[in-house]
Chains A and B, each alone.
Chain A
């Protein structure tokens, strides 16, 4: 195990990674030997028995039972060995230790949100303690599509389905930041559905998670709006700095005239912003596609108002 990874595999940062890498390299070297053998024999025969004269009449080669049996039996033994090993490691991967720290994870188009046991929440960022098994209970948001949770450095992956729970567990043994990819194709923002996994020492994690619980009722509307904006993954498609994304930027949106697909022009006032949050397909701006943004009608009244106030606060002067 080394920090920068190898030619084939990225850095190994979880307890299961070592076993999976061992298995990978066993199959790899066994394959390499067979491959080199096949190619060497092929090249050697092609040279040694090259046609020297158009009338070459090679002698007939009788089949060898022994040879045929050996190349049936030896590969069979090899694959059964690999199968058994792979199946044991698979069971390990699929069985979380009972003392695992549980985090609820939700995937949506296009982002991740995580809820910790004490109610703390993060978006597109997963903070976990090092050297402790962590189990993530995953589901996709209602009405959303299939996503997949993949951390290459941990060698774990699990599809995330709507209306069903699935789970993935790992024990990170190195601190640092690792990539979280969505690996089940989910549409326009699939390749932007990337998060960070921050592995920190247990005491640092405890400190963070205790301080991360927010009292939403005590927040100002604009602050709550910013929180909601992040938690709902709005920034995945809508920038706040004027750059264009899958959806229009939020900077300076409030009060601007919008040319709609149906030819009308409306002003993006509070009612327009509210309407587009709860019913995003109703007044789509020219140049963008309906159906990408899901409805956020499930937010409560204060949260929607907070989002509108937050967007208003992004006016460029």
Chain B
């Protein structure tokens, strides 16, 4: 990010932007600017994603064939455990809200910043503390409980578990801080005219997410504290050897961890709504249904945790009730899918890279949702539980859903964040590689699982060899796609074309009323909102006065022509350094 800032300040007569304003390391580390905090989260999370992704590659490599081995059983167990913990608790849970939520939310509602900028900065430090504790747990050694920490196995693994659970406890506070901040910001800091019915759907998604973050995260904190107390004071809570109940741990764990999957997916729904509306240039079909179904999912999400425990020995009545509620929660997700597809109807569909990710999302998340219905069927789940089918389903929802949406969102807001365009051609190639690689990797896992392959197996019986090999090959393709993204993203920071103010011809405030690279205070004057976020028919300004200049991908367009005068931030007396 600093490179981009330096590059930006090289150019003469550059207006003041958040990137060339207060650029020292100290100023970054003490910044209260939501945009810079978003970028700090972006860099931290990218590192976590890279490490956890490489761990996944090690797992796939180990499973390539029954005879081939790169590590011992214990190392394998530690590898998948770390992959799970890092991806879930340190990457996907914070990802979209902390990176794009932080950057985009105030811009989209017309605010100067979030409601509590210091709390926002604190959340990043708390997150980093959690990350460092995770590394400490690593160094202390040999954590191999899986990301679910099921007792009594985890009770027998010693101090590494205590450190790791403490790390999760701490990083949970980062989530709570962010959630609290967003709720207050959305309630109190909307620009004049930005009514609830005019909120972009990304904001609705973040709002629903924040509610879950604030209400559910304390439960995992309490559970982790109980786990620590049990081990240090030897009081029986979960460990049957001390008179505790291991099933109780599963209830507590899933009481958080199921709502947590909605923390991971609800903001993704928001991004997809933005992308599909903008690139179809059509008002979102069923705005109210999409907005309210997010809130409905957030609420119902608290009542379905028991569907992770159909074969645990919980009572049949509980299982039946949990199964029924699980179906009810499937309906709002289905409604969203239909609404998004219907939004494209009679639109003007522009297949740029972000839209390709949105369409990938529709494809993959539909599979994720339907396989979710499959594992929600009580009797069928008995067969599928704890097999690769569940692993496949989970990755279709989390990676095919959340991560695809994150990638789409990153491509979509990249010009606003960095002021640069990336290579559209490479972007499309990478999106294609990721889509193909993802399906080869995880569709085979669905088949493996329904054929009976249990999860978390270091070795497997011969009849699974072919599918495992295919899945590993798929993961190479997937990794190639992701590294390509990393490559052209870094390239674009230094050599990318200058982004115009509104390269996608979007109609939300961060594109229409904010400069190409945002001003440190976002808006030069408080915007007055007079239409809905997707009312393209009322948004004449995005059509560039009809000459088409504002609707390109930024290539070959003089950005000066593109900035509406009211948004051009040319504050006097603030000349950039020569």
A residues contacting B by CB (< 8 A) are: 5, 7-10, 16, 19-20, 23-24, 27-28, 31, 34-35, 38-39, 41-42, 45-46, 49-61, 63, 67-68, 71-72, 75-76, 79-80, 82-83, 85-94, 142-143, 145-146, 148, 150, 152-153, 155-159, 161-164, 166, 179, 181-192, 194, 246, 289, 291
Residues of B within 8 A of A289 (CB): 74
Instruction: Give the CA-CA distance A38 to B319 in the complex, in Å.
Output: 31
Complex partner residue of A182 from B152, B366, B454, CB under 8 angstroms: B454
Complex partner residue of A7 from B152, B280, B447, CB under 8 angstroms: B447
Instruction: Give the CA-CA distance A91 to B378 in the complex, in Å.
Output: 9
Residues of B within 8 A of A38 (CB): 337-338, 341, 362, 366
Q: Mark B134-147, 1 if CB is under 8 A from A, else 0.
A: 00000000001010
**Known contacts A60-B283, A63-B286, A194-B461: does B452 contact A152 (CB below 8 Å)?**
yes
**Known contacts A61-B282, A72-B335, A194-B461: does B382 contact A67 (CB below 8 Å)?**
no
Residues of A within 8 A of B351 (CB): 46, 50
B147 → A minimal CB distance (Å)? 10
Q: Mark B432-471, 1 if CB is under 8 A from A, else 0.
A: 0000000000000001001110111111110000000000
B217 → A minimal CB distance (Å)? 25
Is the C-beta of B20 less than 8 angstroms from some C-beta in chain A? no
A113 → B minimal CB distance (Å)? 19
Binds A, one of B173-181, B486-494, B508-516, B546-554: B546-554
Q: List 16 A-B contacts (CB under 8 A).
A: A5-B451, A10-B452, A34-B366, A46-B359, A51-B281, A55-B546, A58-B347, A83-B327, A90-B316, A145-B150, A146-B246, A161-B240, A188-B73, A190-B457, A191-B459, A291-B156
Residues of A within 8 A of B331 (CB): 72, 75-76, 79
Residues of B within 8 A of A142 (CB): 241
Chain B interface category by residue count: 35 or more
Residues of B within 8 A of A10 (CB): 451-452
Instruction: Give the CA-CA distance A83 to B552 in the complex, in Å.
Output: 49
Complex partner residue of A185 from B74, B146, B543, CB under 8 angstroms: B146
Q: Mark B242-268, 1 if CB is under 8 A from A, else 0.
A: 000011000000000000000000000
The majority secondary structure among interface residues of chain A is: mixed
B412 → A minimal CB distance (Å)? 16
> Which residue, A63, A80, A92, A291, has most C-beta atoms of chain B within 10 A?
A63
Instruction: Give the CA-CA distance A45 to B376 in the complex, in Å.
Output: 31
Is the C-beta of B370 less than 8 angstroms from some C-beta in chain A? yes
Residues of A within 8 A of B385 (CB): 157, 183
**Closest B residue, CB atoms, query A152:** B452
Complex partner residue of A91 from B73, B316, B338, B342, CB under 8 angstroms: B316
Is the C-beta of B289 less than 8 angstroms from some C-beta in chain A? yes
Q: Do B311 and A148 have beta carbons less than 8 Å apart?
A: yes
B308 → A minimal CB distance (Å)? 12
Q: Mark B305-347, 1 if CB is under 8 A from A, else 0.
A: 0000011110010011001100100110011011001101111
**Closest B residue, CB atoms, query A90:** B378
B561 → A minimal CB distance (Å)? 14
**Known contacts A49-B347, A75-B334, A93-B379: does B153 contact A187 (CB below 8 Å)?**
yes
B113 → A minimal CB distance (Å)? 34
Residues of B within 8 A of A63 (CB): 285-286
Q: Do B153 and A49 have beta carbons less than 8 Å apart?
A: no
Is the C-beta of B349 less than 8 angstroms from some C-beta in chain A? yes
Instruction: Give the CA-CA distance A228 to B311 in the complex, in Å.
Output: 31
**Known contacts A19-B379, A190-B456: does B144 contact A45 (CB below 8 Å)?**
no
Is the C-beta of B383 less than 8 angstroms from some C-beta in chain A? yes
Q: Do B348 and A191 have beta carbons less than 8 Å apart?
A: no
Complex partner residue of B335 from A45, A61, A71, A181, CB under 8 angstroms: A71
B432 → A minimal CB distance (Å)? 15
Q: Do A185 and B456 have beta carbons less than 8 Å apart?
A: yes
B83 → A minimal CB distance (Å)? 14
Complex partner residue of A42 from B323, B359, B383, B386, CB under 8 angstroms: B359
Complex partner residue of A20 from B241, B335, B366, B379, CB under 8 angstroms: B379
| 10 cross-chain pairs, A with B, having the tightest CB-CB distances, nearest first | A152-B452, A89-B379, A90-B378, A86-B377, A54-B551, A56-B348, A191-B457, A31-B370, A45-B344, A79-B327
Residues of A within 8 A of B311 (CB): 148, 157-159
A158 → B minimal CB distance (Å)? 6
> Which residue, A5, A83, A179, has most C-beta atoms of chain B within 10 A?
A83
Instruction: Give the CA-CA distance A60 to B343 in the complex, in Å.
Output: 10
Residues of B within 8 A of A192 (CB): 73, 459
Residues of A within 8 A of B376 (CB): 83, 86
Is the C-beta of B495 less than 8 angstroms from some C-beta in chain A? no
Q: Do B386 and A157 have beta carbons less than 8 Å apart?
A: yes
Residues of A within 8 A of B152 (CB): 145-146, 162
Residues of B within 8 A of A87 (CB): 320, 323, 378-379
Instruction: Give the CA-CA distance A100 to B219 in the complex, in Å.
Output: 42
Instruction: Give the CA-CA distance A90 to B458 in the complex, in Å.
Output: 30
For window 371-401 of B, CB contacts with A under 8 Å fall at 371, 373-374, 376-383, 385-387
